[in-house]
Chain A
Amino acid sequence: MYLFLCIVSFISVFPLYWMLSAATNKSAEVVAGRLIPGGYFFENLKNLLANQNVGRALGNSFKYAIILTVVSLIVSSLAGYGFEIYHDKAKDTVMSIILLAMMVPFVATMIPLFQMFSTAGWLNTTIGFILPTVSTPFLIMMFRQSARSFPHDIMEAARIDGLSEIRIFFQMFIPTMRSTYAAAMTITFMNAWNSYLWPKVIMTDATSQTMPMVVANLTQGYVTDYGMLMLAVLICTLPTAIVFFCLQNAFAEGITGAVK
């Protein structure tokens, strides 16, 4: 059993280790099968920076992902809270319609969205990046579930104290539901950072490209510089890897969040 787990773990980790070591070695050494980290890191970095505008792509990716995460958390948690705390028949019906949207594949809405957004002049803009995924049925459901455990008597007490409904949400709900927000934040940030199809459609200009797009660009040539390529992959993976290691439990809760 331990042997089995070790093999599976090795297979899981090896490609990432290979990526790490390749990023610090010369392409020729990578091809020769060198598996120990080398001293070619800065040379690879120099080549990469000369080849692609990594700084700009990183900046774009961070900008889009952070704005999307913040807005998404506010919009979805407000909606989930509204659906649960003030629920009645009409709202429950609306909620079940919203859940149907989970079944709509993105490719089926991509072309009309592209047409709508290009008419609106939103190509190559942050708003164009975030709008299609800023409100998701998944997150709304997740916050709706967590609002179920929000104690009603505390709300009543706050109302008697004269706190307005919106202040109850901001001053009481958000601080109590910190772990739900952490879970929602990790999953939204990861998805935003990793998204590829939609940015590829809407970010037509080189200046608005994201980090995954830059990595994909690097594979287009005939000769691959593995050292440089894997360094780009490493840079692209680092932010999500940091989120993963710091917030692993929140992330696990995030992907399974709406199920409970």
Chain B
Amino acid sequence: MDQYQVKRILKSTATHAFLLSVALTCLFPIFWMVRSALMTNETVFIDKSLIPASLQFGNFYTAWLEGNFGVYFLNSVLYTTAVVIGIVLISSLAAYSFSRLQFPGKNIFFYMFVAAMMIPLPGSFVPLYVLMNNLHLVNTRFGYILCMINVGLSLSILLLKTFFDKMPQDLENAARIDGCSKLGLWWHVALPLARPAIAVIVIFNSLNVWNEYILATLLLNDKSLMPLQRGLMVFQGAHSVDYPLLMAGLTIAAAPILLVYLFMQKHIIKGLSSGAVITLDKRTKYF
């Protein structure tokens, strides 16, 4: 074996060892969550083994029933779907307008949207609650969905505007010659090309909505309207926590979002790594 081969093997081993340690750091908490979900309240603090001696699969069933996950799960699916669709539609329309249209106060409006990202959510709780109450939207699904769309808009508009700014205008000109309207250009040309950026927006906002609880607690009173995170609260007392059931609940709550990530990871990586820049190759592929 020559020195180059040795160097290559050493380099590769070091790289793989580093990547493996990073992967382990990410995966270990998930493993620990599932492991703790399979223990009892008595053994969770005592048993330090990686795989518990007695596996309590019944914890998942108990957590589902006690946390009333059936209703909350459906609510979360509804909120996540509605909010993500809302954000994608509104932010892409807004971003496309900011990128392509000329209208008075365009920059001021854009900076206002961007500035909205700087306001921490708890800072806006009281005015938001008063506003929603005046609109009779407190304790309604619609009110919560509107608020959550509002939360996700700023970042999504910023991401998509950057994307549309870099997108060459030739395609739109060609479509315009074919008789496409402004709305048609957005729907038929801009949106399909923005798929990687939209994938990033979808996963970021799905995660955000799926894990959201504070705004839901503020705006919703009716238990039947609450999202999945409300179910997890059942296992956390002010002073005591039922760890196995909480971990089982967390596993149930995390599973769908993991699936969404796995399903969309190709687009997400593309969206993030390419900086969402359009290339001529893509245009060729599109036509």
**Are chains A and B native binding partners rather than an unrelated pairing?**
no
Which of A's residues lie within 8 Å of B, judged by CB? none
